[in-house]
């Protein structure tokens, strides 16, 4: 399993804390509005944020964050094609994470 999603900083902040603006989370299929027009984070994004909250984070080179979680690992980095956005890559295990870091020239074991 290797999957990536692109979120703006405001969407990511909203997903993590429920505060601020949800941006395009509904349009992207990561959230929906309930009967009261409140934004409810979808199950996939909720799983990602829960894993993020419980994972051990390590910042690499200032613009890449590595998270080693219980269910999966994450690589979070700036997404240069869209201003103020992140690319969040979900990886199945430590080997896949190490391979992704090696492709970027970072081992994460410094």
| pLDDT score of 110 | 46
| pLDDT score of 38 | 92
Q: Which residues contact 82 (CB under 8 A, 6 or more apart)?
A: 6, 8
User: Which position has the higher pLDDT, 103 or 53?
Assistant: 53
The total number of residues written for the chain in this structure: 110
pLDDT digits (tens, 9 = 90+) for 69-105: 888 999 999 999 999 999 999 998 888 888 888 887 7
Q: Where are the beta strands (DSSP E) in 1-110?
A: 2-8, 31-33, 39-41, 56-60, 64-68, 73-78, 85-91
Report the pLDDT averaged over residues 42-71: 90
| pLDDT score of 1 | 55
C-alpha–C-alpha distance, residues 91 and 110, integer Å: 20
User: Which position has the higher pLDDT, 94 or 109?
Assistant: 94
Report the pLDDT averaged over residues 8-15: 96
pLDDT digits (tens, 9 = 90+) for 13-52: 999 999 989 999 999 999 999 999 999 999 999 999 999 9
């Amino acid at each position: 399993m290797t999957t990536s999603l692109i979120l703006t900083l405001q969407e990511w902040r909203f997903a993590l804390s429920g505060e601020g603006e949800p941006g395009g989370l509904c349009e992207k299929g990561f959230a929906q509005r309930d009967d009261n027009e409140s934004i409810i984070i979808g199950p996939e994004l909720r799983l990602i944020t829960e894993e993020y909250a419980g994972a051990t984070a390590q910042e690499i080179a200032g613009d890449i964050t590595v998270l080693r979680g219980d269910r999966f690992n994450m690589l979070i980095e700036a997404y240069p094609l869209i201003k103020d956005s992140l690319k969040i890559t979900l990886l199945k295990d430590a080997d896949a994470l190490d391979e992704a870091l090696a492709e970027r020239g970072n081992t994460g074991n410094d």
